[in-house]
């Protein structure tokens, strides 16, 4: 995968969260979404370029071109529309880049202005609350998407609590996001389908209601399975997140913690849980 990082700032936390919520919506899986997105970390004013509350957002796509299109569309529709926001480059050292403000500037209808600050070019696009400040281009690097752990639990409340603990353990870690709702996917998938044209379908070996109708991978007494999916800026970020999530999710009623390897069909990176598990 290819990944980029945006640093978004706003007047206060309310408007920051409003913009971030819009940008990261419908960003769970590139099976059907244009990008996988999530908040890497919330930033205090002292850690942002303009001294306002901020957030670092990671976005992942299959290619640089697809990611550039998705990020430009989401920035234009979700951040430029949100009152008081500004967008900065979160990967300034990346060798590869794609346009952002350079694309969005045309919304200014000829009234837009460019400005260079410390060697970085920004565009100032006039909007009804003043100006939308957006960096001209974003750095893009190779990333790793689809790291996962699968939690098997005795019932839904136990599984939900375990999943929340796992996601909470990932949240403070740099370089990783959990793009699904609340960081969790209940509709884990397998590669392929019996229906022509579908590239993925329900992971029937992990569906409790299909016991006896398919080859199951469920342990005795398991009635609920949830998956935490992890994207990271590199292999180490994904491995660290998986390690933290496993240890946090383990507890009474969690019968097993495993992962989907899909026969190695999804990529060259393999994360072996027994190697990651030691404290």
pLDDT in tens, 226-252: 999 999 999 999 999 999 999 999 999
Mean pLDDT of 137-160: 97
Q: How many helices (H) and strands (E) does the chain have?
A: 6, 16
For residue 268, what pLDDT is reported? 80
Domain boundaries, the chain: 2-142, 144-276
Mean pLDDT of 110-139: 97
Matching fold, domains 2-142 and 144-276: yes
pLDDT in tens, 67-120: 999 999 999 999 999 999 999 999 999 999 999 999 999 999 999 999 999 999
Closest-CA residue to 135 (of 65, 48, 62, 37): 48
Secondary-structure class of domain 144-276 per CATH: alpha beta
For residue 104, what pLDDT is reported? 98
For residue 261, what pLDDT is reported? 76
Cβ 177 vs Cβ 131: under 8 Å:
no
What's the topology of domain 2-142?
Alpha-Beta Plaits (3.30.70)
- Strand (E) or helix (H) holding 116: strand 113-117
For residue 131, what pLDDT is reported? 98
pLDDT in tens, 246-267: 999 999 999 999 998 776 666 7
pLDDT in tens, 20-67: 999 999 999 998 999 999 999 999 999 999 999 999 999 999 999 999
């Amino acid at each position: 995968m290819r990944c980029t990082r945006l640093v978004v700032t706003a007047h206060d936390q309310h408007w920051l969260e409003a913009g971030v919520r819009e940008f990261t919506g419908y960003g769970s899986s590139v099976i059907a979404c244009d990008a996988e997105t999530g908040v890497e970390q919330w930033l205090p004013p002292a850690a942002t370029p303009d001294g306002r509350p901020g957030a670092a957002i990671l976005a992942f796509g299959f290619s640089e071109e697809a990611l550039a299109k998705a990020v430009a569309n989401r920035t234009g529709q979700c951040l430029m529309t949100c009152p008081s926001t500004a967008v900065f480059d979160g990967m300034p050292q990346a060798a590869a880049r794609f346009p952002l403000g350079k694309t969005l500037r045309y919304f200014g209808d000829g009234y837009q202005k460019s400005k260079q600050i410390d060697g970085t070019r920004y565009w100032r696009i006039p909007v009804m609350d003043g100006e939308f400040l957006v960096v001209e281009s974003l750095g893009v690097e190779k990333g790793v998407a689809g790291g996962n752990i699968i939690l098997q639990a005795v019932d839904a409340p136990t599984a939900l609590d375990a999943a929340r603990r796992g996601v909470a353990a990932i949240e403070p870690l740099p370089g990783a996001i959990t793009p699904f709702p609340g960081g969790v996917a209940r509709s884990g998938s397998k590669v392929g389908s019996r229906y022509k044209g579908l590239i993925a379908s329900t992971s029937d070996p992990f569906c409790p209601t299909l016991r006896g109708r398919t080859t199951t991978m469920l342990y005795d007494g398991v009635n609920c399975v949830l998956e935490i999916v992890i994207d990271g800026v590199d292999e180490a970020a994904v491995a660290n997140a998986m390690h933290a999530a496993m240890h946090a999710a383990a507890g009474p009623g969690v019968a097993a913690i495993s992962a989907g390897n899909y026969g190695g069909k999804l990529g060259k990176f393999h994360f072996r849980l027994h190697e990651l598990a030691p404290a």
